[in-house]
Chain A
Amino acid sequence: MTFSLLHATDFADRLLYNIIPPLKAGMIVLADRYAYTAFARDATRGVDRQWVRELYSFAVRPDVTLYFRVPIDVSLDRLMARRVKLKFYEAGMDMGWSANPVESFRLFQGKVLDEYDRLVEEFGLNVVSAVGSITEQQRVVRDLVARHIRTTHVVESTETPDEQLV
């Protein structure tokens, strides 16, 4: 609960100082993670799902939400390639499910991914496969985002390769 509320406090502060003012000014705000991260992570830690949703009811609902989905092995490979050690909370070590960080990560993040799958349906998240190359992903992202914003120049629609991925 404390973990959940601390994050909510941080979120509220950023919402009020960094998100709402630029929105009022008509700007586009890009948020790296949003309330959905809390929904997935807190539920995995055993916090009541509906309680967390109501807790975050002060949040602005995003116009577009992109969910980059990867299988657990891919994310582990990527993390291990860059870093020697997994972070304590990232691996869900606080849950006491396993003393082995990699094993704990697999168990914990596996459950987090299950929670995200619920959210995709509940909140209509746009799933982007994050297995492919950065260029491939970016093409999908641009296409999804372009549908929601009016740009000064005409956006040429591509051959919509995203249909299978979405």
Chain B
Amino acid sequence: MSNSSEPVDAVVDSPTNGGIQPGKYYGRSIPYLPINGYPGKLIAVEGTDSVGRTTQIQLLREWLEVKGYGVVETGWTRSPLMQPTIELAKSSNTLNKLTFVLLYATDFADRLEKEIIPALKAGFVVLTDRYIYTALARAGVRGVDRAWLRNLYGFAIAPHLVFYLKVDVDTLIGRVLGSRGMDFWESGMDLKHGDDIYDSFRAYQQKLLREYTSMADEFHFRTLDARRSINKIQDELRRQVQAFLEPSP
């Protein structure tokens, strides 16, 4: 219901024009939380299910702590405020794509204000397991308006580094079946591609991968091939994180 006569100056800060500044808000800020000059660093690890994000973050955390950095971890839908509500809503059949998006955004806002921003202020390295790109990809696949989504998440802080662990859909299927199997939401069954969970999973994950690829340039992803071994990926992550945190003169 925005009024067209109101000047829309958000365009200047829009992430789509490449004007992203790491450590600053992507778009319209949270006016009561100025974050300029905070010493902490925000590092996001993105990727679809079963690409090994959590393992990589765990290893990265140990390595950083041994090097003497204070590390804080945060993950998608992990806010104490919203997690029970999100689980409850997912278990019923009343979720609409819009309420789904807004629940995720509420969870994110809570973690941003209560975990991420205080940690950045205190000089921590914040490792985030998934970030707003997960929400953008999932909602994008479900046909939610892209401009609206980007405005919604305008209050997010642009990470200093975004690592995107990329796999192809066949590798992904193998890994998911080899571990815990396919679940309703990961298979996008709510999109009603059909009753077959395998076909639905494949179609849904393929669309998600396409969404991620289309965001790679927009949000300055550093894409890593997640089909390699855990150690190879970790070495690459450490190399890039070190180059960022401790640039050689």
Contact = CB atoms under 8 A, between A and B. Distances in A.
A147 interface: no
A9 B32 contact: no
B28 A50 contact: yes
Contact of B1 (A5, A48, A56): A56
Interface stretch (B46-54, B122-130, B150-158, B195-203): B150-158
Contacts of B110: 2
A48 B148 contact: no
Interface stretch (B3-11, B59-67, B235-243): B3-11
B1 A59 contact: yes
Contacts of B81: 2
Contacts of B135: none
A53 B30 contact: no
Nearest to A58: B98
Contact of A53 (B1, B99, B154): B1
16 contacts: A1-B113, A2-B81, A2-B113, A4-B109, A6-B106, A12-B99, A13-B96, A13-B99, A17-B94, A47-B31, A48-B29, A50-B28, A51-B28, A54-B148, A56-B1, A58-B98
Contacts of B30: 1, 46-48
A55 interface: yes
B118 to A, nearest CB: 14
Interface size class of B (residues with CB under 8 A): 20 to 34
Given A12-B98, A58-B148, A61-B1, A2 B31 contact: no
Contacts of B112: 1
Interface residues of A, number: 28
Nearest to A39: B1
A17 B113 CA distance: 31
Contact of A51 (B32, B99, B113, B154): B154
Interface in B99-115: 99, 102-103, 105-106, 109-110, 112-113
A54 B151 contact: yes
Contact of A2 (B32, B99, B106, B151): B106
Nearest to B148: A57
Contacts of B109: 1-2, 4-5
B2 interface: yes
Contacts of B155: 1, 48, 51
Nearest to A119: B3
Contacts of A4: 109
Contacts of A17: 94
Nearest to B96: A16
A35 interface: yes
Interface in A27-46: 35, 45-46
A126 to B, nearest CB: 16
A154 B105 CA distance: 49
Contacts of B1: 35, 53, 56-57, 59, 61, 123
A5 B135 CA distance: 15
B162 to A, nearest CB: 22
A20 to B, nearest CB: 10
Given A35-B1, A50-B10, 8 more contacts: A1-B112, A2-B106, A12-B99, A13-B96, A48-B30, A54-B10, A122-B3, A123-B3
**7 tightest Cβ-Cβ pairs between the two chains A and B:** A46-B32, A9-B102, A5-B106, A1-B109, A53-B2, A51-B28, A54-B151
A137 B149 CA distance: 40
